[in-house]
Amino acid sequence: MGDSLTPTEIQVLYEISLGIKPASDMKTTARTALSKYLQKLNCSAAAVFETRSEHKGPAEYDLVTTVPDQSVFERIAGDAQSLLPSHPNSTPDTFPIVSEGREVNRYVMELPEFGVIMLCKRGLSINNAVLRSISELNSKLATACNRVRVQKQYETQYQELFENAPVMFAFTRAGDGELLIEDCNHQFVETLGYERETVIGNPISMLYADNREDPVDYQIYERALNGDLETTECVIETQDGRKITTILTATPRRDRRGKVIGTHTLFINVTELKRRNQQLTVLNRILRHNLRNDLTVIKGVLDLVAEDADERVSPHVENAKRRTENLESIADGARNVREILKQEDHSDQDITSILESLVARAERSYPEATIQLSIQPASIYAIEAVKYGFWELIENACMHAGEEPTVQVTVQKNNNTVVVEVADDGPGLPEQEVQPVVDGKETQLKHSSGLGLWLAKWVIELSGGDLMFDTDDGAAVRAQFYHS
């Protein structure tokens, strides 16, 4: 047996190499390669075994595939498993394992990081030069099998994510002027009340409350088929006739060659969100008009009563007037908060100029307060309304820190953060005011008395920041941002 390859053997190995590449699944990948091994090396049978990666103790193997079929392979190879290495950490020096018999020679070779390959050859044995060179082909086959295995793992994870996602997913395929539903997830059929078999193969337009009479719904798919990402609001109908408002996002779905064949369609159910927004709009109108109008009438009546009230009644009238003005202030505050929170556009905000302006305003409004400003020039990427949050913190300190409070407003710029702190020498913020804001919710037992801290929290968080409280010594409120 020669120790170097002949030109013919080099050609044989090259042609085997051409048959080794990832296919749609591991069995097909291995079977296609084995067919080349058998054809070019004149072997009678071959098999690929995968090592059980999580098995402890002696190495064990799972059969991936054989050529020819398993029953024929077993007749030729005999007890193939007995020839496989039992040590879980077999080294390259272990291979090849050669068993030469009177009728058939068996060769077990390593598929690195995957398993082993067995070749069975009748007649002349495979020479040493070819056996050494086959190791490179075996490495290529192992890489192809591992690639398919990893791809299948990702596909399984993706399928689980697709199936269990809390939003409605559907895959469509273009056909006959329609987009046909090819697959959908559990949330899709659960929300709409259909059996999966009922919707598969049907036009996605069957879901629309207006069917395809609304051109906007169909055009979004046309643009997605042209390669664009599209989003719109869409009303779809359940099997029992209920209307669901969704945000529809359609992206192009491509085949392996990159050709657009349909869409990935995502429906986010915003029905409850729309309902809540409608409720808030109605409540805001009541606060803005009905409540304010009624409070104006009550204040007028109280003014008339106050003119003739004696010393016994007058304190109660004045208390009622204060309560009425407080309610009026809350109604105005709620309206202002709603308008402020409509601002969602982000841009660079100059912290220096904002705080200098707000401190000047506070000094005019609260002359009894001593306000100290210590800032480092900085800017943040935030909504314009962030200034209202800073004002609430500064005004809160001026109003509630005592008769002649000292308020310190500082800005510290670190490597990647900007921290705005408003501190005072007062008694500190009451826990019942701070805790609901920290927890992000109010209850009947724990609730703040106004909207100021809530507004500060909302606009700061909308700007990508965090609001923190320190009430151990006086009151200090910090807003932390990533600086631009």
Task: Give the CATH number of the domain where residue 142 resides.
Answer: 3.30.450.40
Q: How far apart are CA 220 and CA 217, in angstroms?
A: 6
Q: What are phi and psi of 98, to 5 degrees?
A: -115, 130
Q: Where are the beta strands (DSSP E) in 162-269?
A: 168-175, 178-184, 230-237, 243-254, 260-269
Residue 2 lies in a domain: no
Residue 131 lies in a domain: yes
Overall number of domains in the chain: 4
Per-residue pLDDT of the chain (484 residues; tens, 9 = 90+): 457 889 999 999 999 999 999 998 999 999 999 999 999 999 999 999 999 866 566 778 999 999 999 999 999 998 888 888 877 666 667 789 999 888 899 999 999 999 999 999 998 889 889 988 999 999 999 999 999 999 888 888 888 888 888 899 999 998 877 889 999 999 999 999 999 998 999 988 888 865 444 444 556 777 777 777 778 888 888 988 888 889 988 888 888 788 888 889 999 999 888 888 777 777 777 766 777 788 888 888 888 888 877 878 888 888 888 888 777 776 776 777 777 777 778 889 999 999 999 999 999 999 998 999 998 888 898 988 899 889 989 988 888 777 788 899 999 988 888 999 998 887 777 676 777 776 666 554 444 456 778 888 888 888 888 888 876 666 788 999 976 5
Asked whether residue 215 falls in the same domain as residue 292, the answer is: no
Residue 457 lies in a domain: yes
From 287, 309, 340, the end of a domain falls on 340
Asked whether residue 237 falls in the same domain as residue 142, the answer is: no
Residue with tokens 């401190």: 359
Residue 182 lies in a domain: yes
Asked whether residue 362 falls in the same domain as residue 311, the answer is: no
Burial string for 98-108 (b: 16+ CB within 10 Å, else e) reads ebeeeebbbbb
**Order of all β-strands in the sheet with 406-413:** 370-374, 406-413, 417-424, 475-482, 466-470
Residue 160 lies in a domain: no
Q: How far apart are CA 8 and CA 253, in angstroms?
A: 46
Asked whether residue 416 falls in the same domain as residue 437, the answer is: yes
What is the structure's pLDDT at 323? 83
**CA 429 → CA 75, 145, 216, 385, distances in Å?**
86, 64, 53, 24
Other Cβ atoms closer than 10 A to 425 = 17
**What does the DSSP 8-state code read for residue 463?**
T
Bridge partners, 99 (sequence order): 106
Q: Where are the beta strands (DSSP E) in 328-378?
A: 346-350, 370-374
**Pick from 400, 460, 451, 458: which is nearest to 426 by CA?**
400
Please compute, for residue 142, the number of CA atoms within 13 A of its CA located in the half-sphere on the CB side: 18
Residue 301 lies in a domain: yes
From 319, 340, 361, the end of a domain falls on 340
Asked whether residue 285 falls in the same domain as residue 241, the answer is: no
What is the structure's pLDDT at 215? 44
Mode of pairing for the β-strands spanning 168-175 and 260-269? antiparallel
Asked whether residue 413 falls in the same domain as residue 463, the answer is: yes
- What is Dmax (Cα atoms) for the chain? 127
Asked whether residue 365 falls in the same domain as residue 418, the answer is: yes
Residue 421 lies in a domain: yes
Mode of pairing for the β-strands spanning 406-413 and 370-374? parallel
User: Model pTM?
Assistant: 0.55
Which tokens is 445 given? 């037992």
What is the structure's pLDDT at 353? 93
What is the structure's pLDDT at 211? 47
Asked whether residue 475 falls in the same domain as residue 353, the answer is: yes
Q: Which helix (H) or strand (E) holds 94?
A: none
**Pick from 399, 388, 391: which is nearest to 366 by CA?**
399
Asked whether residue 256 falls in the same domain as residue 279, the answer is: no
Q: Residue 76's Cα: distance from chain center in Å?
A: 53
Asked whether residue 18 falls in the same domain as residue 149, the answer is: yes
CATH number at residue 399: 3.30.565.10
Apex CA 160: angle with CA 159 and CA 161, to 5°?
90
Asked whether residue 450 falls in the same domain as residue 470, the answer is: yes
What is the structure's pLDDT at 183? 92
Residue 69 lies in a domain: yes
Asked whether residue 47 falls in the same domain as residue 20, the answer is: yes
**CA 123 → CA 45, 74, 100, distances in Å?**
13, 18, 10
Q: Which helix (H) or strand (E) holds 473?
A: none
Domain enclosing residue 145, as ranges: 7-153
Q: How far apart are CA 451 and CA 334, in angstroms?
A: 7
Which tokens is 460 given? 């700061």
CB 163 within 8 A of CB 186: yes
Which tokens is 132 given? 């050494």
Apex CA 197: angle with CA 192 and CA 200, to 5°?
80
**Pick from 155, 137, 145: which is nearest to 64 by CA?**
145
From 131, 153, 175, the end of a domain falls on 153
What is the structure's pLDDT at 216? 44
Bridge partners, 203 (sequence order): 180
